[in-house]
Amino acid sequence: MKDVYTDRLLEVTDVPLHVRLEMPEGGKAPRTAVLIFHGFTGHMEEPHVIAAAQAARAAGCIALRAELYGHGKSGGTFRDHTIPRWVDEIDALSAWAAALPGVKRVVLCGHSQGGLAVMLSAARRAGETAGLALLSPAVMIPEGARRGELLGQRFDPSRVPDEFPTWEGLTLRGAYLRTAQGLDPFSAAAAYRGPVLLVQGTEDEVVPRRCAEELAERYADCRLEWLPGANHCYDGHVAEYAAILRAWFDVLA
Protein backbone atom coordinates (compact mmCIF):
# COMPACT_ATOMS: atom_id res chain seq x y z
CA MET A 1 0.00 0.00 0.00
CA LYS A 2 2.96 2.30 0.55
CA ASP A 3 3.10 3.44 -3.07
CA VAL A 4 -0.66 3.67 -3.41
CA TYR A 5 -1.51 6.28 -0.80
CA THR A 6 0.10 8.90 1.36
CA ASP A 7 -1.41 10.83 4.24
CA ARG A 8 -0.19 14.37 4.72
CA LEU A 9 -0.81 17.52 6.67
CA LEU A 10 -0.59 20.28 4.05
CA GLU A 11 0.29 23.84 5.00
CA VAL A 12 -1.49 25.60 2.14
CA THR A 13 -3.47 27.94 4.44
CA ASP A 14 -3.00 29.09 8.05
CA VAL A 15 -3.98 25.71 9.53
CA PRO A 16 -2.70 22.22 8.60
CA LEU A 17 -5.14 20.34 6.36
CA HIS A 18 -5.23 16.55 6.46
CA VAL A 19 -5.30 15.00 2.99
CA ARG A 20 -4.95 11.51 1.57
CA LEU A 21 -3.46 11.20 -1.88
CA GLU A 22 -4.22 7.94 -3.69
CA MET A 23 -2.77 6.98 -7.04
CA PRO A 24 -4.90 5.41 -9.81
CA GLU A 25 -5.56 1.71 -9.95
CA GLY A 26 -3.32 -0.33 -12.21
CA GLY A 27 -0.36 2.04 -12.09
CA LYS A 28 -1.66 4.29 -14.90
CA ALA A 29 0.00 7.69 -15.33
CA PRO A 30 -2.69 10.11 -14.10
CA ARG A 31 -3.56 13.37 -15.82
CA THR A 32 -6.57 14.27 -13.72
CA ALA A 33 -6.73 14.85 -9.98
CA VAL A 34 -10.14 14.50 -8.34
CA LEU A 35 -10.43 16.42 -5.06
CA ILE A 36 -13.07 15.00 -2.74
CA PHE A 37 -14.67 16.85 0.18
CA HIS A 38 -17.01 15.71 2.99
CA GLY A 39 -19.96 17.68 4.40
CA PHE A 40 -20.91 19.36 7.69
CA THR A 41 -19.57 17.22 10.62
CA GLY A 42 -18.14 14.80 8.02
CA HIS A 43 -14.68 13.38 7.34
CA MET A 44 -12.72 11.36 4.78
CA GLU A 45 -13.61 7.90 6.11
CA GLU A 46 -17.36 8.12 5.48
CA PRO A 47 -18.50 5.33 3.10
CA HIS A 48 -19.70 7.74 0.40
CA VAL A 49 -16.41 9.68 0.54
CA ILE A 50 -14.33 6.50 0.31
CA ALA A 51 -16.52 5.28 -2.59
CA ALA A 52 -15.96 8.53 -4.51
CA ALA A 53 -12.18 8.16 -4.10
CA GLN A 54 -12.35 4.54 -5.25
CA ALA A 55 -14.39 5.55 -8.34
CA ALA A 56 -11.81 8.21 -9.25
CA ARG A 57 -8.92 5.74 -8.89
CA ALA A 58 -10.74 3.11 -10.96
CA ALA A 59 -11.15 5.72 -13.72
CA GLY A 60 -7.39 6.36 -13.78
CA CYS A 61 -7.42 9.58 -11.76
CA ILE A 62 -5.54 10.62 -8.65
CA ALA A 63 -7.97 10.75 -5.72
CA LEU A 64 -7.21 13.46 -3.18
CA ARG A 65 -9.51 13.31 -0.17
CA ALA A 66 -9.23 16.34 2.09
CA GLU A 67 -10.64 17.28 5.48
CA LEU A 68 -11.61 20.92 5.77
CA TYR A 69 -11.25 23.37 8.67
CA GLY A 70 -12.51 22.07 12.00
CA HIS A 71 -13.23 18.59 10.64
CA GLY A 72 -11.45 15.21 10.77
CA LYS A 73 -7.74 15.48 11.49
CA SER A 74 -7.35 18.97 10.05
CA GLY A 75 -6.61 22.05 12.13
CA GLY A 76 -9.14 24.50 13.49
CA THR A 77 -12.15 23.90 15.70
CA PHE A 78 -15.64 22.92 14.57
CA ARG A 79 -17.16 26.02 16.19
CA ASP A 80 -14.93 28.37 14.20
CA HIS A 81 -15.58 26.87 10.78
CA THR A 82 -17.39 28.88 8.12
CA ILE A 83 -18.34 28.03 4.54
CA PRO A 84 -16.23 30.86 2.99
CA ARG A 85 -13.21 29.48 4.86
CA TRP A 86 -13.85 26.07 3.30
CA VAL A 87 -14.06 27.75 -0.13
CA ASP A 88 -10.65 29.41 0.41
CA GLU A 89 -9.21 26.04 1.42
CA ILE A 90 -10.62 24.36 -1.69
CA ASP A 91 -8.97 27.09 -3.82
CA ALA A 92 -5.62 26.46 -2.11
CA LEU A 93 -5.88 22.67 -2.34
CA SER A 94 -6.81 22.93 -6.04
CA ALA A 95 -3.68 24.96 -6.72
CA TRP A 96 -1.60 22.40 -4.82
CA ALA A 97 -3.11 19.49 -6.78
CA ALA A 98 -2.68 21.27 -10.12
CA ALA A 99 1.08 21.41 -9.45
CA LEU A 100 1.44 17.64 -8.87
CA PRO A 101 3.68 15.92 -11.47
CA GLY A 102 1.75 15.04 -14.63
CA VAL A 103 -1.53 16.59 -13.50
CA LYS A 104 -3.27 18.53 -16.28
CA ARG A 105 -6.77 18.84 -14.88
CA VAL A 106 -8.43 19.26 -11.50
CA VAL A 107 -11.96 18.01 -10.89
CA LEU A 108 -13.83 18.96 -7.71
CA CYS A 109 -16.22 16.60 -5.93
CA GLY A 110 -18.08 17.53 -2.74
CA HIS A 111 -20.87 16.15 -0.59
CA SER A 112 -23.56 18.37 0.91
CA GLN A 113 -21.93 21.43 2.55
CA GLY A 114 -18.71 20.35 0.83
CA GLY A 115 -20.63 20.36 -2.48
CA LEU A 116 -21.84 23.89 -1.80
CA ALA A 117 -18.26 25.00 -1.08
CA VAL A 118 -17.04 23.31 -4.28
CA MET A 119 -19.66 25.20 -6.32
CA LEU A 120 -18.51 28.54 -4.89
CA SER A 121 -14.82 27.76 -5.47
CA ALA A 122 -15.42 26.66 -9.08
CA ALA A 123 -17.45 29.77 -9.84
CA ARG A 124 -14.63 32.14 -8.97
CA ARG A 125 -11.90 30.03 -10.64
CA ALA A 126 -13.94 28.78 -13.57
CA GLY A 127 -11.07 28.28 -16.00
CA GLU A 128 -9.04 26.24 -13.52
CA THR A 129 -11.66 23.59 -12.79
CA ALA A 130 -12.17 20.88 -15.43
CA GLY A 131 -15.44 19.54 -14.02
CA LEU A 132 -17.59 19.07 -10.93
CA ALA A 133 -19.28 16.17 -9.19
CA LEU A 134 -21.85 17.61 -6.79
CA LEU A 135 -23.18 15.06 -4.32
CA SER A 136 -26.46 16.24 -2.77
CA PRO A 137 -25.06 19.79 -2.50
CA ALA A 138 -26.53 21.70 0.45
CA VAL A 139 -27.59 24.76 -1.55
CA MET A 140 -30.47 25.50 0.83
CA ILE A 141 -28.12 26.58 3.66
CA PRO A 142 -27.77 30.27 2.57
CA GLU A 143 -31.52 30.69 2.10
CA GLY A 144 -32.10 29.03 5.50
CA ALA A 145 -29.59 31.37 7.12
CA ARG A 146 -31.35 34.40 5.58
CA ARG A 147 -34.74 33.12 6.79
CA GLY A 148 -33.39 32.29 10.25
CA GLU A 149 -33.83 28.54 10.04
CA LEU A 150 -30.98 26.01 10.09
CA LEU A 151 -30.81 22.39 11.27
CA GLY A 152 -34.47 22.59 12.26
CA GLN A 153 -33.84 25.49 14.66
CA ARG A 154 -34.99 29.09 14.47
CA PHE A 155 -33.06 32.30 15.09
CA ASP A 156 -33.61 35.98 14.34
CA PRO A 157 -31.80 36.51 11.01
CA SER A 158 -31.42 40.25 11.66
CA ARG A 159 -29.89 39.63 15.10
CA VAL A 160 -27.74 36.56 14.59
CA PRO A 161 -26.79 34.89 17.90
CA ASP A 162 -23.12 34.67 18.91
CA GLU A 163 -23.52 30.95 19.58
CA PHE A 164 -25.77 28.44 17.79
CA PRO A 165 -25.90 24.98 19.40
CA THR A 166 -26.35 22.15 16.88
CA TRP A 167 -26.18 18.57 18.19
CA GLU A 168 -23.87 16.39 20.29
CA GLY A 169 -22.44 19.46 21.98
CA LEU A 170 -21.28 20.95 18.66
CA THR A 171 -21.81 24.69 18.57
CA LEU A 172 -21.50 27.11 15.67
CA ARG A 173 -20.59 30.75 15.99
CA GLY A 174 -22.47 33.74 14.67
CA ALA A 175 -19.81 34.06 11.97
CA TYR A 176 -21.00 30.79 10.38
CA LEU A 177 -24.57 32.15 10.17
CA ARG A 178 -23.63 35.67 9.04
CA THR A 179 -21.27 34.50 6.31
CA ALA A 180 -23.78 31.87 5.12
CA GLN A 181 -26.42 34.61 4.71
CA GLY A 182 -24.24 36.29 2.08
CA LEU A 183 -23.73 33.26 -0.19
CA ASP A 184 -25.50 32.85 -3.53
CA PRO A 185 -25.06 29.32 -4.87
CA PHE A 186 -27.52 29.75 -7.74
CA SER A 187 -25.50 32.65 -9.19
CA ALA A 188 -22.37 30.56 -8.67
CA ALA A 189 -23.97 27.83 -10.80
CA ALA A 190 -24.67 30.29 -13.60
CA ALA A 191 -21.04 31.48 -13.49
CA TYR A 192 -19.50 28.06 -14.17
CA ARG A 193 -19.49 26.80 -17.77
CA GLY A 194 -17.73 23.43 -17.37
CA PRO A 195 -19.34 19.99 -17.12
CA VAL A 196 -21.27 19.20 -13.93
CA LEU A 197 -22.63 15.94 -12.56
CA LEU A 198 -25.30 16.37 -9.90
CA VAL A 199 -26.24 13.27 -7.89
CA GLN A 200 -29.06 13.20 -5.38
CA GLY A 201 -31.26 10.56 -3.71
CA THR A 202 -35.01 10.75 -4.26
CA GLU A 203 -35.41 10.29 -0.47
CA ASP A 204 -32.90 12.95 0.58
CA GLU A 205 -34.11 14.15 3.98
CA VAL A 206 -31.79 17.20 4.04
CA VAL A 207 -31.81 18.82 0.58
CA PRO A 208 -35.19 19.46 -1.08
CA ARG A 209 -35.75 18.02 -4.54
CA ARG A 210 -36.48 21.43 -6.08
CA CYS A 211 -32.97 22.61 -5.10
CA ALA A 212 -31.34 19.99 -7.33
CA GLU A 213 -33.80 20.70 -10.16
CA GLU A 214 -33.18 24.44 -10.00
CA LEU A 215 -29.41 23.96 -9.85
CA ALA A 216 -29.46 21.69 -12.88
CA GLU A 217 -31.26 24.45 -14.81
CA ARG A 218 -28.76 27.12 -13.75
CA TYR A 219 -25.64 25.24 -14.84
CA ALA A 220 -24.78 25.50 -18.53
CA ASP A 221 -23.80 21.82 -18.79
CA CYS A 222 -25.31 19.65 -16.05
CA ARG A 223 -26.34 16.02 -15.85
CA LEU A 224 -28.75 15.38 -12.98
CA GLU A 225 -28.82 11.76 -11.79
CA TRP A 226 -31.54 10.75 -9.33
CA LEU A 227 -30.77 7.74 -7.12
CA PRO A 228 -34.12 6.02 -6.50
CA GLY A 229 -34.74 5.36 -2.81
CA ALA A 230 -31.45 6.88 -1.64
CA ASN A 231 -31.15 9.25 1.35
CA HIS A 232 -28.71 12.14 1.90
CA CYS A 233 -25.69 9.82 2.41
CA TYR A 234 -26.86 7.06 -0.01
CA ASP A 235 -27.07 4.46 2.79
CA GLY A 236 -27.70 1.08 1.15
CA HIS A 237 -27.25 2.63 -2.33
CA VAL A 238 -23.51 3.27 -2.39
CA ALA A 239 -22.93 0.76 -5.23
CA GLU A 240 -25.28 2.59 -7.66
CA TYR A 241 -23.85 5.93 -6.56
CA ALA A 242 -20.28 4.67 -7.13
CA ALA A 243 -21.16 3.40 -10.63
CA ILE A 244 -22.51 6.84 -11.63
CA LEU A 245 -19.36 8.53 -10.34
CA ARG A 246 -17.09 6.00 -12.06
CA ALA A 247 -18.76 6.69 -15.43
CA TRP A 248 -18.39 10.46 -14.86
CA PHE A 249 -14.71 10.25 -13.90
CA ASP A 250 -14.08 8.01 -16.96
CA VAL A 251 -15.23 10.95 -19.13
CA LEU A 252 -13.05 13.48 -17.29
CA ALA A 253 -9.92 11.32 -16.77
Residues that bind ligand FER (CB under 6 A): 39-40, 112-113, 138, 141, 144, 150-151, 206
CA 186 to chain centre: 16
Nearer to ligand FER, 25 or 143 (CB): 143
Contacts of 60 (CB under 8 A, 6+ apart): 24, 25, 26, 28, 30, 32, 250, 253
Nearer to ligand FER, 40 or 219 (CB): 40
CB of 86 to ligand FER, least distance (A): 10
Contacts of 53 (CB under 8 A, 6+ apart): 20, 22, 34, 36, 63, 65
CB of 4 to ligand FER, least distance (A): 28
Nearer to ligand FER, 155 or 226 (CB): 155
Nearer to ligand FER, 41 or 54 (CB): 41
Instruction: Determine the number of helices (DSSP H) and then strands (DSSP E) in the chain.
Output: 8, 12
CB of 112 to ligand FER, least distance (A): 3
> Three-state SS for 41?
coil
Q: Is 127 left (phi over 0), alpha (psi -120 to 50) or beta?
A: alpha
CB of 105 to ligand FER, least distance (A): 26
